[in-house]
Amino acid sequence: MKLGIYGGTFDPIHIAHLIIAEYAHSELLLDTLYFVPSYIPPHKLSKTISSHFHRLDMLQLAIGNNPKFSICDFELKKQGTSFTVDTLRYFYKNNNLAKKDLFLIIGADNLADFHLWKDPDGIVNLAQIVVARRPASPAANEKYTDVLTLETPLLDISASEIRKRIREGKSVRYMLPRNVEVYIKKHGLYRE
């Protein structure tokens, strides 16, 4: 069994996330790709993020009709700061996997700082690192070079830009799934 792990805040999940996931599933011949929403990302300790209930609901709306995708709520249930190495250990413990069967999908922007993550060597020993290209982000790290590159379309869409546009009353149509956009409006998210 080959599993992909795609973690993030997903605040909100958007089209670029979904395209990366679709490419990863297809190109890596995965059985399942798991979206893993963070409870509190270590790089966002001082930032306000939406309730994990809302982020989980939006993820479910976005991927609910795709049998290739699933959600793992391990980090939400664990609470506290979310560390990738802990999540990978959880998958190993519960799925009888070898490193060749577990793929960690990260953005090129994350690879540059990968050496600053909690136990990066442990992460590399547990999973194959797959780097999705991002606009204006070099996919390189001097220490961690044994990575697979996922050739995805370069879409310059970010959750922070979506949140900003919503705050400013601007359209986010086509930047995220329609049902997620409706959910955001219904719950008044990102309006502040």
User: How far is CA 66 from each of CA 49, 60, 71, rounded to the nearest angstrom?
Assistant: 26, 10, 11
Say how many C-beta atoms besides its own lie within 10 A of residue 1's C-beta: 10
- Domain assignment present for 146: yes
- Domain assignment present for 157: yes
- Domain assignment present for 150: yes
- Domain assignment present for 132: yes
**pLDDT classification of 108: cutoffs 50, 70, 90:** confident
Q: What is the extent of the structural domain holding 81?
A: 3-186
Contact present, 165 and 136 (Cβ < 8 Å): no
Which pLDDT belongs to residue 86? Answer: 97
- Domain assignment present for 116: yes
**pLDDT classification of 135: cutoffs 50, 70, 90:** low
- Domain assignment present for 191: no
Which pLDDT belongs to residue 4? Answer: 98
- Domain assignment present for 10: yes
- The predicted model gives 42-61 an average pLDDT of 88
Higher pLDDT, 98 or 169: 169
Which pLDDT belongs to residue 141? Answer: 72
Q: What is the CATH number of the domain that holds 87?
A: 3.40.50.620
Which pLDDT belongs to residue 139? Answer: 61
For 149-168, write each residue's pLDDT tens digit: 998 888 889 999 999 999 99
- Domain assignment present for 192: no
Beta strand extents in the chain (DSSP E only):
3-8, 32-37, 69-71, 102-107, 128-132, 148-150
Contacts of 100 (CB under 8 A, 6+ apart): 128
pTM of the model: 0.93
> How many domains, in total, are found in the chain?
1
Q: What is the mean pLDDT of the chain?
A: 92
